[in-house]
Chain A
Amino acid sequence: MTETSDLSPRQQRLRRVSTSEVGMHTLPEAVPPAGSDDEAQYGMAGDARGQLATVARRFIHSPMAVIGLCTFFGLAVAAILTEMFWTYSYTSITNTLNAPPSLAHPMGTNSIGGDVFAQAMHGTLQDIEIALVVAVLATFIGATVGAIAGFYRGTTDTALMRFVDLILVIPVLAILIVLAHIVAKQASNWLWLAIIIGAVSWTYVARLVRADFLSLRERDFVEASRALGASNRRIIVRHMLPNALGPIIVNATITVALSIVLESTLSYIGLGIQPPNVSLGLLVDQGQDSATTEWWLFVFPVVILVVLILSIFFIGDGLREALDPKKNRVRA
């Protein structure tokens, strides 16, 4: 079963609980009323409202997911508020050098007199910005490629999948390192950084969507739509994609988390965000030598980084559980 093995391990690990693909589908299959022009809405409207409520309810019942959601939004809101209202900005330079946490500087200051709290919050914001751009880009490209490959099969499929292989054969970090060199190293380079991270992250979504489409296209409702004269594009976009939406959403969430990991790793080795701009990974890199002497330069960025990533993972895991009809229950 080439399709299954083509699925990335990340997918398998985090989203699948069964080795069969049936479990991937989040919405029960059904045939749209014959002749109805509402086929398009089938995926999300009407029944979807009921489904949305079910999903939401299941999500709320998972404590980890709720904690993740609250933490993530808490951090994001805190970061935005800090940018707007805090006395210091991330570029501020004061005359208190290397000071431990105090009332004026809740996370202390660094060796140039910069306020660590402002920098950490700006870094959080920067990381979230990058991650969202990456997720949108990667999901869009990946879903498109996967849909086309899965739907059309044949040579299109083979060509596209070999292209995916091309990217996967090179360790992601290696590609990123090579690409990061080409990007001009300016403080405003975060958009370029997001683009190149997105350029290597779409492969997972592509394989996922392709696997879904490969089986979806055999379903009755697709045949029905075709019999009714729907164009390929309409079938893909309005019938099949909505059915594959669930895993795509979960994957997008995981991509957000993974892109933060990638970006912070790049910044740590010096190829990511450049000073005077900040990101959490860069702060960890700058603070690592002071971990025992000026602990606040190291501990705060590390904790915030891990909490941020963890919260997104929890959200993703919660979504997966909520969207999956074959939910695991406690066994006797």
Chain B
Amino acid sequence: MRPSRRLVGVVAAIGLAAITLAACSSNSSSSSTTSSGGSTTGSVRTGGTLTMGLDENLAGFNINTSAASEYVLQEILDQVWPQPFIVNAALKPVLNTQLITSATSGGSPQAVTYVINPKAAWQDGTPITADDFIYNWQAQSGNSAYTDIGGATYDAASSSGYNQIATVTGSNPTGGAACDPGSAADRNVGMCPNGRTVTVKYTTPFADWQSLFGNLVPAHIARTVGWNTGFSSPAQAISGSWYEIQSYTANQSVVLVRNPSYWGTPGKLDKIVFQFFSDDTQEVPALQNNEVQLINPATVNTAITQSAAQVPNTTKVTVPGLEFEHLDFNEADPYLAKLPVRQAIAYGTNRQEIISHTVGEVASGIVPLGNRMFVASQPQYVNNGSQYVSVNPSKAESLLSGLGFKKASDGYFQPNYGPQSGQDLTFTIQSTSGNSTRAQTEQLFQAQMKAIGIKINIQNYDANTFFGTNLPNGTYQIAEFAWVSTPFPSGNQSIYCSYTSSSCGQNWLHYANPAEDKLLAAGSSATSASQETTDFNQADKLLWNDMATLPLYQKPQYFAWSNKYGNVIPNASTTGVPWNANLWGLKAS
């Protein structure tokens, strides 16, 4: 049985929050680029229905809360709530010009100006204005001055970025002074409800400003029903985009239909249906039965790909995903604290073999990952770990001998200090239970470590215990799990900055290096995207020198859809494949 194996859902609760939605590589600060659709693959006609499979249930519709922030919800809301920037298939954030005619960032202190399309309005007629931006900022700012209805604390999945905003103001349509939200009283009636130009001023520069305001929550609704728990049904999740939610049956399906009040180019399909599967392996038989026409299962293994391969008249595509598996080393351990030990493990790990025995069977071209900040399919990727690409057992052994460890008759090294002195050097590797790929990776790792003289025990825990207790409390030695990379690398800061600093809450490695801190801080506050990329790549190089963690490989994403439909373009970012669902349609011919 598999309770939801959405690794992304588990990890991305951490990784996703590091970068809200719209994940992609930012490559220019001003982003008035092309249309929001991306390339089309042929003409399609208007009309028809497409059903897509999803494998996680919803816990509410406000994706910006910690309770409801899920991958699958993002895919549903892609077409329902307004998104200023949409991440396209090339992992670039592209301005949604149908919503925002321009968005520019500049000046010092940093100020971003959004110009909202004058025709943009929610489906109940209320225009989309600065009011929405101001409300969304206040709710996610983490500032206790702002509270939800009834005085409740705002439940925000992530305040990063928002907590660096000083003010958000809206233009005054009569041309006078800019409208400032001002006092709390204004919040009840609407703040700058007529402002079509929004100015966001930052206290300290935030390089990933394009990641903010990703899914705009309708302010006028949130004020009445409440941000935390008010969005429990489609009646509150009104549309400000191409499609609206027609119906929602808990644990069954969400049905989207065209939003008749949409002001821009309407979507092609009449209906988009999302069907929930409790088990993502059910999605392939459903595709075969034509119960769904598009699937993107979370588990990608040979069972799924081979059974999907037998389904006729479908297109199957494997796309490098943004999620990557890696090994964490806990430097609080007296042996892992030593750099040569970590390097020995890195030299002894045959990542190519791990790949070929696991994900390599479902996707070709997966290589050992050489960077922690960016994955291989991102344009910013630089391979900083080339010396570790091929396994080097002799070098690993010489590193251990160099420390004074002696190889015993059973083939294992024995350290000459510490609690394991005189015994076989043993480490325990932990991961989440119920994941066969991880279990297999651990087995391979165990065999590879045995070859260089290190004993490995395998111990897995359920996700709650693993992520909630063992990692944060440091009760582990080696851990295997996945991070989700994004186009906005500033989220990496809290993982690798020195654990001694209180703001580094996600550094579970017990790793500290002031030089690293400098590079990470420089990158997060860089004023240009290219500067940010350079800084973070430098930071990654240093991490390779320090061997803080060992990236393994980038996980592939698998998409399969019926050939009757056109313009389906796989998108590995958290936006998901419905990023351009407004262009999906039945093929004309």
Contacts and interface: CB of A to CB of B under 8 A. Distances in A.
- Is there a contact between chains A and B in the complex with CB atoms less than 8 Å apart? yes
Interface of A: 91, 93, 97-98, 111-113, 181, 184-187, 268-270, 274-276, 285-286, 288-290, 292-294
A275 B436 contact: yes
Given A185-B461, A268-B1, A290-B306, A111 B444 contact: no
B443 A274 contact: no
A111 B434 CA distance: 16
16 contacts: A91-B446, A98-B361, A111-B358, A184-B461, A185-B461, A270-B1, A275-B440, A276-B442, A276-B443, A276-B446, A285-B1, A289-B281, A290-B306, A292-B307, A293-B302, A294-B306
Given A97-B361, A185-B461, A187-B458, A293 B3 contact: no
Given A113-B357, A270-B433, A285-B1, A294 B460 contact: no
Contacts of B189: none
B459 interface: yes
Contacts of A113: 357
Nearest to A270: B434
Given A111-B302, A285-B1, A187 B459 contact: yes
Question: What 3 pairs between A and B have smallest CB-CB spacing?
Answer: A289-B303, A275-B439, A269-B1
B301 A274 contact: no
Given A112-B443, A187-B459, A270-B2, 14 more contacts: A112-B358, A112-B440, A270-B434, A274-B439, A274-B460, A275-B439, A275-B443, A276-B442, A276-B443, A276-B458, A286-B436, A289-B281, A289-B304, A290-B306
B447 interface: yes
B375 to A, nearest CB: 23
A270 B4 CA distance: 12
A290 B357 contact: no
B1 A93 contact: no
Contacts of A268: 1
B152 to A, nearest CB: 31
Contacts, number: 75
Given A181-B462, A270-B433, A111 B439 contact: no
Given A91-B443, A187-B459, A292-B307, A98 B302 contact: yes
Interface of B: 1-3, 281, 301-304, 306-307, 310, 357-358, 361, 433-434, 436, 439-440, 442-444, 446-447, 458-462
A185 B1 CA distance: 16
Contacts of A292: 307
A91 B306 CA distance: 25
A138 B587 CA distance: 64
Contact of B307 (A112, A184, A186, A293): A293
A290 B442 contact: no
| Most A-side CB within 10 Å, residue of B2, B301, B302 | B302
Contacts of A285: 1
| Most A-side CB within 10 Å, residue of B281, B303, B444 | B303
Contact of B443 (A93, A97, A269, A286): A93
Contacts of B281: 288-289
Contacts of B458: 187, 276
B440 A186 contact: no
Contacts of B439: 274-276
A270 B2 CA distance: 7
Nearest to A286: B436
Nearest to B443: A276
Contact of A97 (B1, B306, B357, B446): B357
A289 B306 CA distance: 10
Nearest to B305: A293
Nearest to A113: B357
Contact of A93 (B303, B307, B447, B460): B447
A185 B433 contact: yes
B357 A293 contact: no
| Most A-side CB within 10 Å, residue of B3, B439, B444, B447 | B439
Contacts of A288: 281
A220 to B, nearest CB: 55
B304 A185 contact: no
A274 B460 CA distance: 8
B447 A290 contact: no
Contacts of B302: 98, 111, 290, 293-294
A185 B439 CA distance: 13
A274 B361 contact: no
A288 B281 CA distance: 10
Contacts of B301: 111, 289
